[in-house]
Every structure is written in C-alpha cells, then in structure tokens.
Amino acid sequence: MSVPFSDHCEPLVDGVDQLDCLLSHLKQKVDSGGGKYVEIRPILCRPGSRTGLRVSLTYELHRLALRKTAEQLFRSFHKTCVQSKIRRAERENLQYEEGTSEELLYKFYRLLTMTRRRQFLPPQPLIWFRGLIASFGKDLKIRVASKDGRAVASILTISYKNSMIYKYGCSNAAFNRLGGTAGLFWRAIQEARNRGFDEFEMGRSAVDNQGLIAFKEHWGAKPTKICYWSYPPDCAGLPSLWKQNLAKRVVPVLPDLALKTIGSLLYKHIA
C-alpha cells in the first residue's frame, strides 16, 4: 500500500505469478463487498489478464538525471522557456524562503487556491498539507518566491532515497512574467544535485496535456510511460461533476471559502 498521492509504486512481489495471485485475491475481496476497488500504479510490472485488472489511466512520468555539473544542467535547459526565465528571476531579486512553518504553508496555500481555481478545481484541504509536513518532517520543503514581500510562486518538494520529488506547484498568474516558478525549480534542482541525489522527479502528466509535457521536457526531463491498472477499470478519478463543463461555470464565481469547503468534501478521504 502506498501513500495516497503517489504517482507510482511497485508491488512488493518476487515475480509475475506472485503478483497475479495477490491481485486475484484482492479482486475476489472486491467482488464479495470487501472493498470498492483495487488499483496499482507500477512502472515496471504488468498484471495478467486473469486478475481482472485493466488499464484505467495512462500518464507520462518525467525525471531529470542529475549526474552532471550545475553548468551542464543549466545548458541542457531550453534557452527561451527555461534559461531566460531563471535569469529573469535573478534580475528581479525575488526573495526566497524555504521550510515548513505555518507562515510558509499559508503563503503556499493562498497561491494553491489561486492555481486550482484557474484549473477549475477545488484545493486540497489545508489539513492535508499539515499532515504531509508532520509525516515527512525534514524531507519535505515548501519553497516560496516573493516580490516586494508578496508571494508570487511556490513549490513543494519531498526527498526520498535517491530522488527529490516535485509534488505541488502554484503561482499568482499576474506575476508569472517574473520567472518565480523557474527560479524555484532551479534552486530545488541544484540542491538535489548537491545532496547527491540521482534524479529530480517532476511527476506525472496526462498524455493529452501536451503543454505540461512540453514544460517538463524543456528542463531536459525524460518521459516514461506509466499505466494505472484497476478493478473495476472505471473506478479512478474525482467525482464526475468536476469533469463536466459545469465546473468551468461554477468555480470562477465561487468565493475562496466555498471553494475550499468543496475541496474538503471531495477530498474527505484525506482530511
């Protein structure tokens, strides 16, 4: 069992036969009412047909190899889409903060609410992020870029084994031209490299989200196709309301408090 927000997780088995035996048993549990569904998110393994699991979602996972000098990494970035934005952030003298304090969490969460609104989605509950901080401790870090004391961009990263993992990012779109997000990514990548990590993981992207895929590839991150397998196969995702055009009409006019309340209801399993 993985943590709820894991983009991928390999089953702890010694081979395909063992995996299929485990999944077949779980399928029987679902059929008998012992659970709503089964889902696995592997990179390498593939369950057999007799398990009943089918591909429900497909993503691309992007990872940036860090076994280079800082100069080599910087030169590998797209000149216009990445390098110029990092330099812009440096010219703007954006203030940089990092840590897990309540003050930083609130700055991050205000920006997250703005970003989720632009995506026609409610934000995850604030208590979810407090739980992450309590669980991961020093391995989690909130990074915030500010201009004249006003937070303009933030990302949240988690360190695990040989990877630093980008999990959440948000910004005030009115200040995106300042390059705050690019500056934060570059700081995190340099830190990961200096700490001896092998890779900087940039997370999953839906295969039809070509804009997000291009953003990650502009950093030199390499894609790997990952499939989510589930039984029943149509069990994954947010409630259908948020996949319909209704969300695009409702979310823009909702006050922040109402949007956050909806988030708490939709994500009640993590609150």
In the chain, alpha helices (H): 16-31, 70-76, 84-91, 102-118, 126-136, 180-194, 210-217, 245-250, 256-266
Contacts of residues 263-270 at CB distance under 8 Å and 24 or more positions apart, as own/partner, are 263/116, 263/122, 263/123, 263/124, 263/125, 264/125, 266/122, 266/238, 266/239, 266/242, 267/122, 267/124, 267/125, 267/128, 269/4, 270/4, 270/124, 270/125, 270/128, 270/131
Eight-state DSSP code of residue 6: -
3 or 98: which carries more pLDDT confidence? 98
What is the structure's pLDDT at 209? 93
Region 253-267: what's the mean pLDDT? 81
* Phi, psi for 144 (deg, rounded to 5): -130, 135
Those residues with Cβ within 8 angstroms of residue 221's Cβ, 6 or more apart along the chain or in another chain? 62, 63, 64, 200, 202
The amino acid present at 123, given as its one-letter code, is P
Model pLDDT for residues 91-109, shown as the tens digit of each residue: 999 999 999 999 999 999 9
Model pLDDT for residues 221-250, shown as the tens digit of each residue: 999 999 999 999 766 554 454 555 666 777
Determine, yes or no, domain membership for 121.
yes
39 or 1: which carries more pLDDT confidence? 39
Determine, yes or no, domain membership for 72.
yes
**41-45, 143-147, 148-152, 200-204: lowest mean pLDDT where?**
41-45
In 124-163, alpha helices (H): 126-136
What is the structure's pLDDT at 5? 75
Q: Tell me the β-bridge partners of 176.
A: none
State the Cα angle at 164 between 192 and 140, rounded to 5°.
Answer: 105
Region 13-18: what's the mean pLDDT? 92
Determine, yes or no, domain membership for 242.
no
Sheet with 95-99, strands from edge to edge, namely 38-40, 222-231, 54-65, 199-206, 163-171, 150-160, 140-147, 95-99
Determine, yes or no, domain membership for 124.
yes
**118-127, 132-141, 251-260: lowest mean pLDDT where?**
251-260
Determine, yes or no, domain membership for 96.
yes
Full residue range of the structural domain in which residue 144 is found: 67-197
Determine, yes or no, domain membership for 105.
yes
What is the structure's pLDDT at 268? 62
Banded pLDDT at 254 (limits 50, 70, 90): confident
CATH number at residue 108: 3.40.630.30
Cα(184)–Cα(152) distance, rounded to whole angstroms? 11
User: Is the Cβ–Cβ distance between 37 and 269 less than 8 Å?
Assistant: no
What is the structure's pLDDT at 246? 61
Count up the domains in the chain and report the number: 1
Determine, yes or no, domain membership for 207.
no
Q: Which pTM was predicted?
A: 0.89
What is the structure's pLDDT at 238? 47
Cα(251)–Cα(145) distance, rounded to whole angstroms? 26
249 or 200: which carries more pLDDT confidence? 200
User: Is the Cβ–Cβ distance between 231 and 37 less than 8 Å?
Assistant: yes
Cα(96)–Cα(41) distance, rounded to whole angstroms? 35
Max CA separation in the chain (angstroms): 62
Determine, yes or no, domain membership for 84.
yes
